[in-house]
Structure 1
Amino acid sequence: MHGYVKVFVWGFEGTAAGFGQMGIPLANVAGPFVGLLELLGGLALIAGLATRWISIPLAVTMLVAIVQVHLPKGFFNPEGIEFPLMLLASTVGLALAGGGALAADNLIAARRSAAPAKPAAAPRAAHA
C-alpha cells in the first residue's frame, strides 16, 4: 500500500520531496526507487515470487526509515518505530524462511522437478 501511494498518489516528485524533508540522502533517487520497490516488491511478496530476494532490500528500507525518520519520534504509533519495526521483523523473517508452501516460487520449483527429464544422448561409438 505504501508503494502505491508513493508512485500513484504523491508521484515520484512528491515522494522525492517528502524524502528530502525527512533528511533521506539522495532523495531524488531514493524516493522513486523506494516507491517502486515497495509497490513491485509488495506485489511479488503477495504472490510469493522471489520472496527471499525481495525481502532483503525491503528490510534495508525499513531499517533506514527507522533510523532516519521514526526513531526520534519514540516507539508508539502513529510516527514511532512500532509499525516500521514490525515490517522490518516481517521482511527479515521472510528473507530467512522464504515464502512457504503456497508461494509461487515453490509451486514453480515443484512443477520443474515434476517435469520429465530429457533422455540422455546415446553414447557414440569410438572410431577405430
Structure 2
Amino acid sequence: MLGGRKPGLGLFILRVVIGLIFVMHGWPKLAGGIPDTAAFLGSLGVPLSAVAAWGIALLETAGGACLVVGLFVTPVALLLVAHMLAGIFLVHLANGFYVVGPGQGGIEFNLLLVAGLLTLLFAGSGIATLASRFQRDMQVI
C-alpha cells in the first residue's frame, strides 16, 4: 500500500484540485465574462444579477485560490457549498443526473464538488496550508 495511509496528503490533493477547478471557473468571469454571467443569472430570475455575477466570480476565483493555498478553508468551503447547491437547484436538477450523456448538464459534477468540499469541512484541510504556517508563526511570538 504505497507506504501506508496519508490522509493529510489526500486532503491536500483534494483541496488543491477543487481550488483549481473553482479558479478556472471564476477567472474567465472576472476577465470579461461578468456581462454574460449577469445575463444568465437574470434569465434565472436572480435579483441584482450583476452584483450576483461579481460575487460569484470573486467567490470562485478568490475562494478557489484560498483553497489552493489552504487559507480560510472552512468559510470558503461553506460558501462554495451554498453556491453549488444553488447551482444544483436553479440550473442542473432540471437536466437530470449526468453531466454528459443522457440528460446533459445534470447535477453530477456539482454533487461531486459538494462532496469534496464537505470532506474538507469535516476531515480538515490536509497538509501544507498557509493557515498552519500563520499559526506556527504566531506561536513563536
CA distance in 1: counterparts of 2:95 and 2:27, whole angstroms: 25
Q: Report the Cα distance in structure 2 between the residues aligned to 1:57 and 1:70, rounded to whole angstroms.
A: 18
2: CA distance, partners of 1:100 / 1:75: 30
- 1:74 matched residue in structure 2: 96
1:19 maps to 2:41: yes
Superposed CA offset, 1:83-125 (max 9, x none)? 0111111122222233122111112212322x15xxxxxxxxx
Larger Rg: 1
1:36 counterpart residue number: 58
Deviates more, 1:67-76 or 1:27-36: 27-36
Residue 85 (structure 1) aligns with = 111
Partner of 2:125: 99
Shift, 1:20, TM fit = 1.5
Identical residues among aligned pairs (%) = 36
- Number of residue pairs aligned between Structure 1 and Structure 2: 114
CA contact (8 A) 1:66 1:81 kept: yes
Which consecutive unaligned segments of at least 5 residues does structure 1 have? 117-128
Q: Give 5+ residue unaligned stretches, structure 2.
A: 1-23
Please tell me whether residue 51 in structure 1 is matched to residue 73 in structure 2. Answer: yes
Which structure is higher in helix share?
2
- The structure whose RCO (Cα within 8 Å, separation 6+) is larger is 2
